[in-house]
Chains A and B, each alone.
Chain A
Amino acid sequence: MTDNLQIPGTPIRVEDLWKRFGDFEAVKDVSFTVEAGSITALLGPSGSGKSTVLRMIAGLEEPTSGRIWMEGEEHTFKTVQERRVGFVFQHYALFRHMNVAQNVAFGLSVRKLPRAEQRSRVQELLELVQLTGFRDRYPDQLSGGQRQRVALARALAPRPKVLLLDEPFGALDARVRQELRRWLDDLHRELGVTSLLVTHDQDEALELANQVVVMHEGRVEQAGPPDEIYNAPATPFVAGFVGTANVLHGHVRDGHVQFGEHRVSGASHLAEGVEARAFVRPHDVRLSTVDRNGGSVRATVERIVTLGWLSRVHLRLPDEQVLTAELPNDELGGVELGSTVWVDLRRATAFETSEVPPTSEPEETPSVR
């Protein structure tokens, strides 16, 4: 049974992909490879062109220029039908006048598979997505999570070469999203189908993907394994978009970013004296009520927000820059509202100020990880 479900991995490669809509350049010079059998996430804010890239791979949009390859075969000019991709839409796009079984069977019946074969394949997939009891229901009789599972079964039924998912969990509430994410992970392990997932949710990308491609304003900012994206952001945008980060302004001095009387390491690649910004993760900010090593920064506690097991502490530095720290509640110690604390910055990534686009301010959304 499991062997029957396996879908052989097909690598995808896009080269120098451009897409223009009138005067607007939605996708600019995008290239990346999705390894056979892996999950790659296209991560970016809305309007970054990630969905357009996905739709071009599916053949739903025509690239202005560039090439698309699957399994070493050029697909740039193939029709949607010829590409044999499985596509999962954000809003499910289930056929509303067909029941669950008919939806799943659609890709088989348009290809005129024998009835018996259709029936057994539909049964197989409904078992896979745990919806066997729902085969006669119509889409409007299902919950959002169930609909998306039907959509996934429908996309997988014709044994697609690759699976393309466009914000598949975007329309679902947080708990269902979390559940489906884990379920998709298991499913992918079982099936092994090459998957490309578009998402604006960094947690989703970092948790599910073997490779993350971060996009911004139509361009690829960075592509790499999730830990590399998180720990070694290649651009200020990635540093600000993936995970939360504090931004400290200063100048480069001896491989450090100097701000006021204090400094943080991580700028050895920058020229002496240039203006720089240091990106510091909130969990890389250590707080203490005593000056342990003499090199700590003094700060005032302005606000403390409790987020379940951890707290977010808003701090103001002597030079008026603000900083947030995240630490487990039991490590708060004597850190109180209005008190003065000593701050240690464990790690930072520095960029020259000129390369920092003005839009890349860190997001305010909590990221508990």
Chain B
Amino acid sequence: MSSTIAPRTPRLAGSARRRLVHGGFTAIALVYVGALVIAPLVGIAFAAFKGGWSVIVDTLRQPDVLHAYYLTGVITLITVIVTTVFGVIVALVITRDRFPGRALMSALVDLPIAVSPVIVGLMAVLLFGTGGWFEPWFSAHGIRILFAVPSMVLVTIFICIPFVIREVVPVLHELGVSEEEAARTLGASSLQTFFRVTLKNIRWALAYGIALSTARAIGEIGAVLIVSGSITGQTETSTLYILRAFDQFQDTQGYIVAITLALASIVLLVAIEAFKRRQEKVRET
């Protein structure tokens, strides 16, 4: 075999094999996503529409369902506001300040992702339940935490802490401090520097973090299930309603609420994807 031809043949064969392998992976990915994501979505949609429009309208008019939506909305809104404001503050502190324990703080911020929501719920019960550390003070002041909205908000916030921080920190790192320093030398106050320079630069990452946080808050069930007591019309969120609907053999109602939550998630997903693209575009420059 001539030495000039020798390397050519395997290269051709190699590229053909690579194409085949590549095609194989594409097929696997499509089937995987299709079977695990699209099929259930279509399934829920079918189940929800099984009873026709009248059942859907009736279900969505039920006071329980309306209250469940309302509660999910309130909890999500508070959670998003709190995790956004404090998330940005924590992200700024982690990236801009130097203090002992900064690395620990940066690691602790991710803890809620690693801990199962059920455990988060149990921790809240330990703190605020009978015999809990904070229980005496709150009951002395007549404030109900457990089996009431405050504990549901608290656990949801806890679970959603990481999203904004995790998105904003790398962007702040990458930006560095020079634009902020430039703003200060030009006479900007700290607030002016934050709102006119820093916030503008992190806005897409922040929007992405907020979208993730919102999606997570809407879908939360594990921790909320433990702390809420699931009192219909009082401490029942949309996800808890779905759970009860199935328990009580009202499958169709359950599917109908489920499909509305799924739709909300899809809208958020599209928004997240758009934010991600904007962010990537900003980073490229």
> Are A96's CB and B285's CB within 8 A?
yes
* Nearest B residue (CB) for A138: B285
- Residues in A with CB closer than 8 Å to B187 are 81, 84, 107, 110-111, 158
> Are A85's CB and B179's CB within 8 A?
no
- Residues in B with CB closer than 8 Å to A110 are 183, 186-189, 192, 196
- Residues in B with CB closer than 8 Å to A95 are 179, 182-183, 197, 200
> Are B201's CB and A155's CB within 8 A?
no
**Could you tell me the distance in whole angstroms from the C-beta of A54 to the nearest C-beta in chain B?**
11
> Are B178's CB and A81's CB within 8 A?
no
- Residues in B with CB closer than 8 Å to A87 are 181-182, 185
Interface residues of B in 185-224 (CB under 8 A from A): 185-189, 192, 196-197, 200-201
- Tell me if B184 is interfacial: C-beta within 8 Å of chain A: yes
- Residues in B with CB closer than 8 Å to A106 are 183, 186, 188, 196
What are the interface flags for B259-285 relative to A under an 8 Å C-beta threshold, 1 for contact and 0 otherwise? 000000000000000000000001001
- Tell me if A93 is interfacial: C-beta within 8 Å of chain B: yes
- Tell me if A91 is interfacial: C-beta within 8 Å of chain B: yes
- Tell me if A97 is interfacial: C-beta within 8 Å of chain B: yes
> Are B181's CB and A60's CB within 8 A?
yes
- Residues in A with CB closer than 8 Å to B282 are 96
Contact A91 B185, CB 8 Å, known A97-B200, A97-B201: no
* Nearest A residue (CB) for B197: A95
- Tell me if A80 is interfacial: C-beta within 8 Å of chain B: yes
> Are B179's CB and A155's CB within 8 A?
no
For the complex, give the distance between the alpha carbons of A137 and B197 in Å.
18
**Could you tell me the distance in whole angstroms from the C-beta of A104 to the nearest C-beta in chain B?**
10
**Could you tell me the distance in whole angstroms from the C-beta of A188 to the nearest C-beta in chain B?**
19
For the complex, give the distance between the alpha carbons of A22 and B188 in Å.
29
- Residues in B with CB closer than 8 Å to A59 are 185
**Could you tell me the distance in whole angstroms from the C-beta of A113 to the nearest C-beta in chain B?**
11
What are the interface flags for A17-57 relative to B under an 8 Å C-beta threshold, 1 for contact and 0 otherwise? 00000000000000000000000000000000000000000
> Are B178's CB and A89's CB within 8 A?
yes
Count class of interface residues, chain A:
20 to 34
- Residues in A with CB closer than 8 Å to B188 are 81, 106, 110
- Residues in B with CB closer than 8 Å to A140 are 285
- Tell me if A86 is interfacial: C-beta within 8 Å of chain B: yes
> Are A80's CB and B184's CB within 8 A?
yes
> Are A58's CB and B192's CB within 8 A?
no
> Are B178's CB and A93's CB within 8 A?
yes
For the complex, give the distance between the alpha carbons of A91 and B200 in Å.
19
> Are B182's CB and A93's CB within 8 A?
yes
**Could you tell me the distance in whole angstroms from the C-beta of B181 to the nearest C-beta in chain A?**
6
What are the interface flags for A89-117 relative to B under an 8 Å C-beta threshold, 1 for contact and 0 otherwise? 10101111100000000110011000000
- Residues in A with CB closer than 8 Å to B184 are 60, 80-81
- Tell me if A154 is interfacial: C-beta within 8 Å of chain B: yes
> Are A86's CB and B185's CB within 8 A?
yes
**Could you tell me the distance in whole angstroms from the C-beta of B135 to the nearest C-beta in chain A?**
45
> Considering residues A58, A60, A106, A111, which has the most beta carbons from chain B within 10 angstroms of its beta carbon?
A106
What are the interface flags for A63-98 relative to B under an 8 Å C-beta threshold, 1 for contact and 0 otherwise? 000000000000000001100111101010111110
- Residues in A with CB closer than 8 Å to B197 are 95
* Nearest B residue (CB) for A140: B285
* Nearest A residue (CB) for B188: A110
* Nearest B residue (CB) for A82: B187
For the complex, give the distance between the alpha carbons of A306 and B184 in Å.
49
- Residues in B with CB closer than 8 Å to A111 are 187
- Residues in B with CB closer than 8 Å to A60 are 181, 184-185
- Residues in A with CB closer than 8 Å to B185 are 58-60, 80, 85-87, 155
For the complex, give the distance between the alpha carbons of A75 and B187 in Å.
15
For the complex, give the distance between the alpha carbons of A93 and B193 in Å.
13
* Nearest B residue (CB) for A85: B185
For the complex, give the distance between the alpha carbons of A157 and B185 in Å.
12
- Residues in B with CB closer than 8 Å to A158 are 186-187
Interface residues of A in 132-153 (CB under 8 A from B): 140, 151
For the complex, give the distance between the alpha carbons of A59 and B188 in Å.
13
> Are A96's CB and B201's CB within 8 A?
yes
Contact A91 B181, CB 8 Å, known A110-B187, A110-B196: no
Instruction: Say which residue of A91, A96, A97, A107 sits within 8 Å of B186 (CB atoms).
Output: A107
**Could you tell me the distance in whole angstroms from the C-beta of B100 to the nearest C-beta in chain A?**
13
* 9 residue pairs, one from A and one from B, having the closest CB atoms: A107-B186, A93-B178, A87-B185, A93-B182, A140-B285, A80-B184, A110-B188, A97-B200, A110-B192
13 contacts between A and B (CB under 8 A): A60-B184, A80-B185, A87-B185, A89-B178, A89-B182, A91-B178, A93-B178, A94-B182, A96-B201, A106-B188, A110-B183, A110-B187, A111-B187
